[in-house]
Amino acid sequence: MNVALVKNETGSALSDSFAIARDRLPGTGKVAAAREAAFAAYAQAGLPHRRIEDWKYTDLRALMREVLPLAPAPDTAEFSRAASAAKLHAIEGVRRLVLVDGVFAPKLSELGGLEKGLGIRTLREALETGDAALQALLFTPDNANPMVALNSAMMTDGVVIDVADGVVLTQPLQIVHIASGTVPAAMFTRSLLRLGKDAGATLVESYIAAEGAKAYQVHDSLIISIGNNSRLDHVRLNEDGRDASNISSGVVSLGAHAHFNTFGMMSGAGVSRYQATIAFAGEGSRVETNGVNLLNGKQHADTTLFMNHAVPHCDSREIFRAVVDDRAHSVFQGRIIVRPHAQKTDAKMMTRALLLSDDAEADNKPELEIFADDVTCGHGATTGALDESLLFYLRARGLSEKEAQALLIQAFVGEAIESIVNDGLRELAIAAAQRWLEARG
């Protein structure tokens, strides 16, 4: 593979890391060529900065500064630390698929006794086989986004999940990303979920840190294809270490009469951005996307969603809540695009931010781009502080100020959390929110 020299914004040669890592990157031939093209696209753009409109509020040249070298393959000690972290975050009744420092860990994963119609393999296996159609799908994300291009160039491992036509999984699947290295490094992962026709599944994504993990970077991407008349419930929980960065992307395509219900909560990582593109490819489909940012200290969290209505008779709902304390910064960018042929679209978006300190910041940017004339679309955004009269009411009934604030915050984010269908996963999100509340000073 020929690798062109490119230097990142701090002057170090990221291309050197790419060249050094290429022996660890799976795939040859067309896969290697696709990697090279993706890296060239990233090399031309570099880390996104605020002069790029979609990155206006999240300047990675200032916030992240550089892309760290690829994390080495985990050793025995790191697997041991990862196993301990996995136990602490275990979810009962869920099939766990674990990635440690960007490498699939079969000994920590549950691969036995798969339900009929469920297939699971690693990304490495998929890229090293001769399945050209699958490999093309794995490189679907657009290289125009520099961080997606970088992920395409450097992706090391992940999971490929297939659910056959007519199969409705009874057991949720959980992809667990664990950082265990004690030396700052970057992990590049990509996963794929394909739901056949008349199928159903629940997918959980968790991002956690093992004891001793230091200043790491997560670069992740998830590609989802939902077949006709199928449903996917998706829960995404980020509890990365506070000195970590997490840049993740989602690419979702829905067939006809499909249903995608997704919830995300960000309470970890010092710098994070989750960007998702959701495309309606079949009529009569519905998307419900809900999100919560729980931020304090100097955390920066960005959620950017692009809803692409390209066909008629589809619905989308977006509800986003942010609770921001200290000097933290929350960003929500939501863009709904209604194409000319997408008549009878019904799309609504609402974002609300709750600021708990004078130094907290929330930037909400809802957008509508409508090119059809028979649609129902709307958006709204509000930012404010806790209601002093409600605080006084609760304090007058014997609650401490912290307890009164916690009750109001729980009520504020509750609407989004209630969108989680699975009772156990809903309790998991509530527990994560409670941990954040208890940790407040």
Alpha-carbon span 436 to 417, nearest angstrom: 15
pLDDT digits (tens, 9 = 90+) for 273-299: 999 999 999 999 999 999 999 999 999
pLDDT higher at 401 or 319: 319
Tell which wins on pLDDT, 434 or 303.
Answer: 303
Residue scoring higher pLDDT (164 or 40): 164
- State the Cα–Cα distance between residues 70 and 60, nearest whole angstrom: 18
Closest CA to 235 of 420, 20, 109, 41: 420
Could you tell me the strand order of the sheet in which 200-209 lies?
Answer: 103-104, 95-100, 173-179, 200-209, 231-238, 259-266, 286-295, 315-324, 346-355, 376-384
**Residues 186-203: tens digit of each pLDDT:** 999 999 999 999 999 999
Residue 355 CB partners (closer than 8 Å, separation 6+) = 324, 361, 362, 383, 384, 385
Kindly tell me if the per-residue pLDDT of 430 is higher than 50: yes
* Residue 364 phi, psi (nearest 5): -115, 130
The confidence score (pLDDT) of residue 441 equals 61
Q: What is the reported pLDDT for 148?
A: 94
Which of the two residues, 130 and 386, has the higher pLDDT score? Answer: 386
Best CA proximity match to 152, nearest among 168, 175, 136: 136
Residue 422 reports pLDDT greater than 90: no
Query: Tell me, what's the pLDDT at 401?
Result: 85
User: What does the alpha-carbon distance between residue 428 and residue 208 come to, in Å, rounded to a whole number?
Assistant: 14
Is 112 a residue whose pLDDT tops 80? yes
418 vs 305 pLDDT, higher one: 305
436 CB-side CA count, 13 A = 32
| 218 in Cβ contact with 249 (< 8 Å) | no
The answer to whether residues 304 and 289 touch, using CB atoms and an 8 Å cutoff, is no
User: Given this model, what pLDDT does residue 10 score?
Assistant: 41
Sorted by sequence, the CB contacts under 8 Å of residue 133 that are 6+ apart come out as none
Residue 275 to residue 290: CA distance in whole angstroms: 13
Give the model's pLDDT for residue 6.
Answer: 41
Going by DSSP bridges, is the β-strand pair 286-295/259-266 parallel, antiparallel, or unpaired?
parallel
The confidence band for 1, taking pLDDT boundaries of 50, 70 and 90, is very low
217-248 pLDDT, tens digit each: 999 999 999 999 999 999 999 999 999 999 99
* Confidence category of residue 428, pLDDT binned at 50, 70, 90: confident
Q: Are strands 118-122 and 159-163 parallel, antiparallel or unpaired?
A: antiparallel
| Over residues 45-51, mean pLDDT | 92
Q: Under a CB-based contact definition with an 8 Å cutoff, are residues 287 and 254 in contact?
A: yes
Position 237 scores a pLDDT of 94
| Tens digits of residue pLDDT in 117-168 | 999 999 999 999 878 889 888 987 778 899 999 999 999 999 999 999 999 9
Between 31 and 13, the higher pLDDT residue: 31
* pLDDT (0 to 100) of residue 11: 34
Handedness of CA 417, 423, 425, 430 (dihedral sign): positive
Calpha distance 248→235 (Å, rounded)? 14
CA distances from 390 to 237, 352, 393, 395, 433 (A): 30, 18, 5, 9, 21
Look over the chain and give the mean of its residue pLDDT values, rounded to a whole number: 91
pLDDT band for position 13 (50/70/90)? Answer: low
Tokens of 95: 């099939």
Residue 5: the pLDDT is 37
Token pair 């992962």: residue:
189
Residue with tokens 């699939």: 104
Residue 301 clears pLDDT 70, i.e. is over it: yes
* Percent of the chain residues topping a pLDDT of 70: 97
Range of weakest confidence among 17-31, 80-94, 139-153: 17-31
